[in-house]
Structure 1
Amino acid sequence: MALDIKKYYTDAQALLNGHFLLSSGNHSDHYLQSAKVLENPKIGEILGQALAKQIKEAGLLPDCVCSPALGGILAGYELARALGTRFIFTERVEGQMCLRRGFEIKKNEKILICEDIITTGGSALEAARCVEFQGGKVIAYAGLANRGFCQRIGSNLDKKPECRLPDDVPLFALEDFIFNMYDPKDCPLCKTGKDKAIKPGSRGN
């Protein structure tokens, strides 16, 4: 029986309505706050196992899972645990994504990049570049949820022009969430002048 991922987000009050600033810089009227879902370790384990099942069924076995901090860390850790692999993460230093804390990647090591939410894939791609710079090979991308811009395995949605992930590397996710996304220069929510776009998780939100 397939998991009802949207119910997990709804039950955790993690499917938000409002005026939000996304990591890509665009605005949206909805936001997925995965941290609220993953604050329950048991649910994190369930979602990690479900995502790992898709990856195993595709015949992929990464040597390591790597996530961009901060949002992807919990999802990536649970996925690595379900796959039985090690886990590392990249983080931004003065705006530049990099690998720190003694993490190392061996030449040709097979790496899976995991985010909590895949929107355009920008942060995941930055993490992938760090991995490749160290000599690793990115064999797949994964996320708990896909915002519908990138094409995931098992979905009928087509890839949108905004997607930054490469066509030759598969993307795995548990569900598609299709929300409006606006360029901040042409955002109808901004034009109302009622609320400023916020980024949940920052400044106390």
Structure 2
Amino acid sequence: MTQDEVLQEFRDAGALLEGHFILSSGLRSPVFLQKMFIFMDPARTERLCRALAHKIEARFGTIDYVVSPAIGGIVPGYETARQLGAKAVFVEREDGKFALRRGFSIPEGARVVMVEDIVTTGLSSRECLAAIADTPGTVVGAACLIDRSGGKADLGVPLVALAAVDIPTYAPDALPPELAAIPAVKPGSRGIQGAKP
């Protein structure tokens, strides 16, 4: 699957939105990728995660475990693991820090890849990878559907992405005038309904 085909999947799902968005990092952006519009369609999710699994295998070889951060990474992590024939587990916040819970564990020698939905700054990915480092498994790399940093996010391990796009982000006090003129909405809020797909 080419990068253009991946982005077209997002457009076709109404998941590539334009406006003024407050990202989870606190940064602002004129583009938001509403990945839940992708994940509500099992066939589309399967297509994208199958393509991601092929890229993971090509880069890292056999994978035993896929670990994803809750909650946004659970669906792509599960489906990518299914395509890889691997186990799927996820980390959740416990006392403000990602950890394996629910009895999940990763055995010694297991080859592990961390799978995310979207990477922006890489913060949640690094936190997820730190939690995996506390297990006896071996992290071989990370993967995501879209790397919106355009390859600039440093996760400390190799990152495979179906699409790498450089979508600008801005500090709230350093907005360009055209973005400052648009009311900001936080994804997941009711205000997102007014965005232009």
TM-score (normalizing by structure 2): 0.87
Contact persistence 2:53–2:80 (CA under 8 A): yes
Q: Return 5+ residue gaps in structure 2 as ranges.
A: 193-197
Deviation at 1:105, TM superposition (A): 1.5
Q: Distance in 2 between matches of 1:47 and 1:36?
A: 13
Match of 2:155 in 1: 165
Aligned with 1:187 (options 169, 175, 183): 175
**Which one-letter code corresponds to 2:55 in the other structure?**
Q
| Matched-pair identity in % | 40
Contact persistence 1:114–1:143 (CA under 8 A): yes
- Render the CA deviation track for 1:79-114: whole Å, top value 9, x for unaligned: 000000000001123432221111112234221000
| Structure 2 residue matching 1:115: 3-state secondary structure | strand
Q: Distance in 2 between matches of 1:29 and 1:189?
A: 12
Deviation at 1:59, TM superposition (A): 4.6
Match of 1:68 in 2: 69
- Render the CA deviation track for 1:12-70: whole Å, top value 9, x for unaligned: 11001111122222111100011101211011111111111112222521210000011
Match of 1:154 in 2: none
**Which one-letter code corresponds to 1:55 in the other structure?**
I
Query: Pairwise mapping of residues 29-44 of structure 1 onto structure 2 (< 5 A)?
Result: 29-44=30-45
* Cα 1:19/1:55, change in 2 over 3 Å: same
Match of 2:27 in 1: 26
Displacement over 4 Å in runs of 4+: 202-205
Higher relative contact order (CA 8 A, sep 6+): 2
Deviation at 1:191, TM superposition (A): 7.8
| Further displaced range: 9-18 or 53-62 | 53-62
Match of 1:201 in 2: 188
Number of paired residues? 191
Q: Return 5+ residue gaps in structure 1 as ranges.
A: 151-159
Q: What root-mean-square deviation, in Å, do the aligned CA atoms of Structure 1 and Structure 2 show? A: 2.1
* Cα 1:76/1:195, change in 2 over 3 Å: same
Deviation at 1:180, TM superposition (A): 1.4
Match of 1:153 in 2: none
Match of 2:54 in 1: 53
Match of 2:125 in 1: 124
Query: Pairwise mapping of residues 119-158 of structure 1 onto structure 2 (< 5 A)?
Result: 119-150=120-151
| Structure 2 residue matching 1:28: 3-state secondary structure | strand
Match of 2:195 in 1: none
Match of 2:162 in 1: 174
| Structure 2 residue matching 1:185: 3-state secondary structure | coil
* Cα 1:70/1:203, change in 2 over 3 Å: farther
